[in-house]
Homo-oligomer: A and B are copies of this chain.
Amino acid sequence: MIQPQSVGVVVPQRAHFAEPLQLRSGGTLPEYELVYETYGELNADRSNAVLVCHALSGSHHVAGHYADAPNNSGWWDNLVGPGKPLDTRKFFVIGVNNLGGCHGSTGPISINPATGQPWGADFPFVTVEDWVAAQARLADRLGIARFAAIVGGSLGGMQALSWSLQYPERVANAVVIASAPKLTAQNIAFNEVARQAILSDPEFHGGHYYAHGVVPTRGLKLARMVGHITYLSDDAMGDKFGRSLRHGKAIYSYDVEFEIESYLRYQGDKFAGFFDANTYLLATKALDYFDPAFEHGGNLPAALARATADFLVVSFSTDWRFSPARSREIVYALLHNQRNVSYAEIESDAGHDSFLLDEAQYHALLTAYFDRIKV
């Protein structure tokens, strides 16, 4: 045992793919780049690679920090590093920014070679399956035939699940956290509110706002605010903010009265300051479309019959965005196919966001699971 450490300074890398990528939407990306980071060393057998898939607003920056930004730690820095649950002394861990993203991989802010202008709203729709196909090409490039594990939370968990179906022979373990086999009507409804907020912002300009030198910040802020409500449990919001009044009493104003208002506005403003609206739209659509059982008439066990990986499925008790019941659907469908599947429902009051947090039982579980993986 060592004290858990940071992976330290990391440097993003880029890979260019000249071969067109056929997308599920029918469109094609003529060429593309993926930006990625790696932590740890690929072993001689090339058997210790772990792919970490990011969620709606994540990126390839999973762990460590950049030399010029020591406080900008990766989004799963608490999980990935020497002595951490996903131990980089044992594993070679990869984070990739997905296609359509806004953190360096080809996306709406990239130049469309056909026009010489940013893709904007013309960037093709990308699905979870497309992301996985692009990640598989990166794996080829890195000489990784088979992953020790593919891991993700939320939309990232959908990618891990999809990997096990698209490339079953390339996934030894799939770790699917706080996720679901498809969105419910309510999930789609929240995404739709977020999209309408962006699409109806006069500064969206049909998705070609770059050319106007503006950003649909109002829409993006609203989208993030509504998202944030669904990331936290009712109880967590109650414990953290309750009805705390900024001024100790009502001031009868549309300025901040309750601390929860301040929190949401802050989160919305922060997000609108760095995230691309077109990417947000694409990512919510990727969430909506994900439904591996669709082609099997809604039969999830039939859809998951292709999977051969061992599975760890994790849910959180107060997650109402992707409730434990949604994880259990995955578990039952895998058990129906007699797959090896471990399932844990972690008691946590933090709602969907729990998958990003330091909950001790959750981290102990991941430590034990990754420990068990032979590389």
Contact = CB atoms under 8 A, between A and B. Distances in A.
Interface of A: 25-27, 124-125, 182-186, 188-190, 192-193, 195-197, 199-202, 218, 221-222, 225-226, 228-229, 232, 234, 237-238, 240-243, 250, 252, 254, 257-258, 260-261, 264-265, 268, 281, 285, 288-289, 291
A238 B281 CA distance: 23
B185 A254 contact: no
Given A196-B265, A229-B193, A188 B222 contact: no
Contact of A186 (B25, B229, B250, B268): B229
Contacts of A289: 250
A228 B232 CA distance: 19
B234 A184 contact: yes
Given A192-B261, A264-B189, A199 B254 contact: yes
A243 B182 contact: yes
Contact of A184 (B183, B195, B237, B268): B237
A181 to B, nearest CB: 11
Nearest to A260: B185
Contact of A192 (B25, B182, B188, B264): B264
A188 B234 contact: no
A200 B222 contact: yes
A285 B200 CA distance: 25
A342 to B, nearest CB: 27
A221 B237 contact: no
Given A184-B238, A243-B183, A229 B196 contact: no
Contact of A188 (B183, B250, B258, B288): B258
A193 B226 contact: yes
Given A238-B186, A252-B25, A288-B257, A218 B192 contact: no
Nearest to A126: B252
B243 A26 contact: no
A268 to B, nearest CB: 8
Given A222-B200, A229-B193, A288-B258, A252 B125 contact: yes
Contacts of A193: 222, 225-226, 229, 264
Contacts of A125: 252
A184 to B, nearest CB: 6
B260 A189 contact: yes
A229 B260 CA distance: 20
B226 A185 contact: no
Contacts of A264: 189, 192-193
A218 B219 CA distance: 10
A260 B222 contact: no
A190 B288 contact: no
A222 B196 CA distance: 7
A197 B197 CA distance: 8
B237 A218 contact: no
B225 A258 contact: no
Given A185-B237, A185-B243, A237-B186, A192 B260 contact: yes
Contact of A234 (B186, B201, B243): B186
18 contacts: A184-B234, A184-B237, A184-B243, A185-B234, A185-B237, A185-B243, A185-B258, A186-B237, A189-B225, A192-B225, A192-B260, A193-B222, A196-B225, A196-B265, A199-B254, A202-B202, A250-B289, A252-B285
The 8 residue pairs across chains A and B that have the minimum distance between CB atoms? A25-B252, A185-B237, A125-B252, A200-B218, A185-B241, A185-B260, A186-B234, A192-B261
B185 A240 contact: yes
